[in-house]
Amino acid sequence: MTSDLAARMRARMERLYPLCRSITGEGVRRTLDVVAETVLLERHAVPSGTQAHDWTVNDEWTVRDAWIADATGRRVVDFRAHNLHLVSYSVPVRTTMTLAELRPHLHTLPEHPDWIPYRTTYYHRTWGFCLAQRRLDAMAEAGDEASYEVVVDTTLEPGELTWGELVIPGESTDEVLVSAHVCHPSLANDNLSGITVATELAATLAARPHRRWTYRFLFAPGTIGSITWLSQNPDRVPSVRHGLVLTGLGGPGGLVYKRTRRGDRPVDRAAAHVVTRREGEVRDYSPYGYDERQYNALGFDLAVGRLSRTPHGEYPEYHTSADDLAFVTDDQLVEAYDATLAIIDVLERDRAYRNLSPYGEPQLGKRGLYPTTGGRAASDAVMAMLWTLACSDGSTSLLDIAERAGLDFARLDAAASDLVAGGLLAPE
């Protein structure tokens, strides 16, 4: 039931939201633990220093606490209050500074004075705090020479890069890759929406008795995680035949599908069909974004598109504390889940059929396929049968027919099943 689905996705996001994820560390492992409660996730890791194509796996980052306290000892910025307060990958610090000295390490959003920005410093070793502009303004009332205790209780040491993987076998060993990043801290749309929808999809596909393709779900830190997976699995990469990156599936905008670099792959047609029929938008490829840019890189050339709503950077809440659990609604998640499953169903079920009774329109009524009361306008279900019979020449696929007829692929697929059962159609 839809309401159960929504409740499961919501509960998972609520548990994941407080975790301090980054590209390495305990937050990623605890996130994978939560996903593994629903699906049989395998955990993989490589040590810091591992070479992954042009990248090197970073030291592991661990954060215990971080704060800025005023002269009375009161924490004016506190990691324990919100994990966005600490710049991700901040190096350890324990010192006293004036506000003037501290300012270069402080990040705010003056245009949204109550929001905390999200900042990272993965590959440049420094430290910093993010805070609401209003908080900084309040600190400034004590003057630039006011003194603050600054503590960043973190470690950056050799450890591991961790990711989760789930393989659901199908009839073909060719794979559909579904990828979600797991490296952002308390940000709901930008990573938790993708994680929670991907988890439900994996559970749904694993429960099906039959699958045409093998499914590989990847829950990995952005960029370094996907590049590391690609570099660790050279023998599996050629099996990836279709793929989707899932992220940013909440927020008020409609669905947005971003094409593969080549733009004419089966997943592009499948997604365009599903998304445009839901009044969503299809955009061309660009080499900026999420992990689709690694999968589509020339050396791999994988047919991986991306499904989101309003893309990163185009909504004000992006990478701020306003991307919270309230920003993502249940309806948005359920629609995104339904749309993703509909895209997968096109990949699973699109094929060509042959009309076995091509000499005029066959008599549907005597086979129980036609409504018994004549005279009304044909329903979509009848039109789907007529279109399927009209066009199934053995090479025109159901998706071709759906697009020409302006009907949902699912409608054509159901009609084809009925016609096969009625002896009027056969898979080519």
Question: Minimum distance from CB of 313 to Zn ion (Å)?
Answer: 9
189-224: buried (b, 16+ CB within 10 Å) or exposed (e) per residue? bbbbbbbbbbbbbbbebbeeeebebbbbbbbbbbbb
Of 190 and 413, CB closest to Zn ion: 190
Amino acid at 107: H
Give the per-residue contact string, 186-215, with Zn ion (x = CB under 5 A; - = no).
Answer: ----x-------------------------
Q: Which two tokens stand for residue 52?
A: 């992954």
Task: Count CB-CB contacts under 10 A for residue 235.
Answer: 7
- Site for Zn ion contains 350 (CB under 5 A): no
Question: Minimum distance from CB of 73 to Zn ion (Å)?
Answer: 35
Give the per-residue contact string, 53-92, with Zn ion (x = CB under 5 A; - = no).
Answer: ----------------------------------------
Of 63 and 84, CB closest to Zn ion: 84
What does each C-alpha distance from 384 to 148, 301, 363, 388 come to in angstroms? 71, 36, 15, 6
Of 159 and 221, CB closest to Zn ion: 221
Residue that the structure tokens 């509960």 belong to: 11
Question: Minimum distance from CB of 188 to Zn ion (Å)?
Answer: 12
Amino acid at 85: H
Alpha carbons 228 and 49: distance in angstroms, whole number: 11
> Using CB under 5 A, which of the segments 31-39, 89-97, 183-191, 210-218 binds Zn ion?
183-191
Q: Is 88 helix (H, G, I), strand (E, B) or coil?
A: strand
Question: Minimum distance from CB of 226 to Zn ion (Å)?
Answer: 14
Of 23 and 35, CB closest to Zn ion: 23
Of 179 and 214, CB closest to Zn ion: 179
Question: Minimum distance from CB of 190 to Zn ion (Å)?
Answer: 4
Question: Minimum distance from CB of 318 to Zn ion (Å)?
Answer: 7
What does each C-alpha distance from 421 to 188, 270, 369, 386 come to in angstroms? 45, 25, 10, 15
Of 190 and 350, CB closest to Zn ion: 190
Number of residues in contact with Zn ion, rule: CB under 5 A? 1
Q: Are 263 and 306 in contact (CB under 8 A)?
A: no
Alpha carbons 332 and 326: distance in angstroms, whole number: 12
Task: Count CB-CB contacts under 10 A for residue 76.
Answer: 18
Q: Please identify the residue of the shown chain whose CB is closest to the bound Zn ion.
A: 190
Nearest to 95 by CA among 170, 165, 148: 148
Question: Minimum distance from CB of 117 to Zn ion (Å)?
Answer: 12
Question: Minimum distance from CB of 52 to Zn ion (Å)?
Answer: 20
At 35, give phi and psi (nearest 5°). Answer: -60, -40
Alpha carbons 365 and 385: distance in angstroms, whole number: 12
Of 117 and 362, CB closest to Zn ion: 117
Of 214 and 223, CB closest to Zn ion: 223
Polymer length of the chain: 428
Q: Which residues bind Zn ion (CB under 5 A)?
A: 190
